[in-house]
Amino acid sequence: MIKEMTPLSMSEATEYIDKSCETDVKGFVKKFVKIKPKDAKELKEKLEKLELMKMKEEQIIKIVDLMPENSEDLNKIFVDVNLNEEEIKKVLETIKEIK
């Protein structure tokens, strides 16, 4: 039964993968995880604290998953919204703090 729908980064999802779960699932997810779960949560919180009106929770999760390094990569996440240069700079600086 689903009680709540909350987006999770792949890094955070690794914490919920049961130890008895097949190693194939763990291995698959870990191939794509770029940071530790603790760092993913910290980055998510910092991005939320930026309080950018254009940034939705789902987009924050994608930023954590993909860890874009430049404005071009970041804009691929924001398909329906355009961030201005100041907003892009804030997001990229926040990502660099965690790396």
Query: How is the chain split into domains, by residue range?
Result: 10-98
Joined tokens for residue 68: 């874009």
How far is the CA of 73 from the CAs of 63, 85, 91, in angstroms? 10, 14, 12
At residue 20, the pLDDT reads: 56
Does this model's pTM top 0.75? My answer is yes
DSSP code of 2?
A: -
**Mean of the pLDDT values across residues 63-76?**
93
Helix, strand, or coil (residue 79): coil
Kindly state the average pLDDT of the residues 61-76.
93
Determine contact, residues 35/10, Cβ cutoff 8 Å. no
Percent of the chain with pLDDT over 90: 51
| H/E run at residue 69 | none
Report DSSP state, residue 21. Answer: S
